[in-house]
């Protein structure tokens, strides 16, 4: 029996849209079909990514609702699998796969920009805990998250890429203040987070204390891999879901583009469908429009080809950013003034306009297009790096 047949048989015999979404997520996780490429014994079946795609295709053919796919699933779990320790997987994985706990990333800072190693959020040891002070910004989903992964400086006496720890952190505590940031789509999915004597446990450090740069880079690589196949958060649950709601109801709301699924209407492969729906009734006699539609389709095929072969995540991320821009321009060209409507008076209820407005963010999130080109130039083409006169300088001695 093929992977597809086995997965189809399981989904066909277990899918029940009347189940509570929490019960369905628990059942799909225990079966191993929710995340089949994860390790056996860790809610997975140890399958290859190609085989996992076949299992996902079987789920789609049954029309069953998928598992949670927020940051905890897509980024935190893969990083823990690679860097551990196992006690953190034991501590957090159950509630990640059940959808009980949402996660966010406390990475970017107002004063560091793209220089992630220049972060100034500091943690000071206090027995079995570390006391954290600092500020993070552009944190997706922090308004709904229960936990976060936090980059904090634990040793300023060494160069800036060292002396960083990567903690798992409870956000429900005194000393953590989350302030939503409204973007031009009208949503508040981004946040700034202030840490004022917040606490993290010493044994919650991914990869060990003072060794946070490597696991943080692993997490960014995983994020870029998702962008490289054009499925950048397409099913992410950014906002909390009521786990007692019938799963079929949640599925129907998500298909309508409801806000329960966060950015799913603006990113990921869903953006292709948003534009296709907008242009469904458009006259295709205009040769310029037809050419633009063909060009966007070619960009999608190239993106899928790169993702399937895992050629290079930076190439894929650049291709995804380009596809987002092409789809944005295509929608505006096809529906013109109508596409600029953003409420109930819009042809599609405003879904496309949100997609279009969020497009530029895709060339920034997870590392800007400029950073991706630097990575390709230095790591693939062997071009020399820019000189760094501060290389080897202890962080505390760096100019501010």
Short-list 122, 133, 118, CA closest to 193: 133
The residue whose two tokens read 């008076």 is: 345
Cα separation, 228 vs 230, whole angstroms: 5
Segments of the chain assigned E as strands: 103-106, 122-126, 129-136, 147-153, 164-170, 176-181, 190-201
The residue whose two tokens read 């034991």 is: 90
Q: Is the peptide bond before 251 cis (omega within 30 degrees of 0)?
A: no
Active-site pick, 54, 109, 192, 223? 223
Sign of the CA dihedral 8, 21, 230, 168? negative
Task: With H, G, I as helix, E, B as strand and everything else as coil, classify residue 286.
Answer: coil
Residues 52 and 5 sit within 8 Å (Cβ to Cβ): no
Give, in order, the Cα–Cα distances in Å from 180 to each of 76, 100, 156, 196, 346.
Answer: 22, 22, 30, 17, 26
Cα separation, 93 vs 75, whole angstroms: 12
Cβ partners under 8 Å of residue 43, min gap 6:
29, 30, 32, 34, 35, 93, 97
Active site residue 82: no
Residues 341 and 285 sit within 8 Å (Cβ to Cβ): no
107 sits in which H/E element: none
Cα separation, 356 vs 298, whole angstroms: 19
Give, in order, the Cα–Cα distances in Å from 270 to each of 199, 232, 265, 322, 341.
Answer: 38, 9, 6, 15, 20
Catalytic machinery residues: 223
């Amino acid at each position: 029996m093929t992977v597809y047949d086995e997965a189809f048989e399981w989904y066909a015999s277990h899918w029940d849209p009347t189940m509570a979404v929490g019960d369905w997520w628990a059942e799909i996780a225990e079966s191993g079909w929710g995340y089949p490429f994860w390790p056996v014994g860790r809610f997975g079946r140890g399958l290859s990514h190609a085989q996992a795609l076949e299992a996902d295709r079987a789920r789609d053919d049954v029309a069953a609702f998928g598992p949670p796919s927020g940051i905890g699933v897509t980024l935190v779990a893969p990083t823990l699998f690679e860097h551990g320790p196992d006690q953190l997987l034991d501590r957090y994985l159950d509630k990640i796969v059940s959808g009980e706990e949402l996660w966010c990333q406390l990475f970017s800072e107002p004063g560091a920009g793209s220089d992630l190693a220049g972060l100034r959020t500091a943690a000071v040891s206090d027995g079995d805990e570390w006391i954290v002070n600092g500020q993070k910004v552009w944190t997706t989903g922090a308004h709904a998250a229960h936990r976060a992964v936090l980059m904090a400086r634990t040793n300023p006496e060494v160069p800036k890429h060292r002396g960083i720890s990567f903690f798992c952190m409870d956000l429900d505590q005194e000393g953590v203040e989350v302030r939503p940031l409204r973007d031009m789509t009208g949503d508040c999915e981004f946040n700034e987070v202030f840490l004022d004597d917040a606490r993290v446990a010493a044994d919650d450090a991914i990869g060990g204390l003072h060794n946070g740069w490597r696991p943080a880079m692993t997490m960014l690589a995983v994020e870029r891999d998702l962008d490289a196949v054009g499925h950048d958060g397409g099913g992410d649950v950014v906002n909390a879901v009521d786990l007692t709601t019938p799963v079929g109801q949640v599925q129907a709301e998500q298909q309508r583009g409801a806000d329960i699924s966060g950015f799913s209407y603006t990113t990921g492969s869903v953006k292709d469908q948003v534009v296709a729906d907008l242009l469904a009734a458009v006259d295709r006699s205009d040769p310029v429009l037809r050419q633009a539609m063909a060009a966007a389709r070619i960009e999608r095929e190239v993106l899928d080809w790169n993702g399937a072969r895992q050629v290079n995540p930076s190439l894929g991320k650049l291709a995804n950013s380009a596809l987002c821009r092409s789809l944005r321009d295509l929608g505006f060209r096809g529906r013109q003034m109508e596409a600029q409507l953003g409420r109930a008076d819009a042809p599609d209820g405003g879904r496309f306009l949100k997609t279009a407005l969020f497009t530029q963010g895709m060339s920034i999130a997870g590392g800007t297009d400029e950073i991706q080109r630097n990575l390709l130039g230095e790591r693939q083409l062997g071009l020399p790096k820019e000189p760094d006169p501060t290389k080897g300088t202890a962080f505390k001695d760096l100019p501010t």
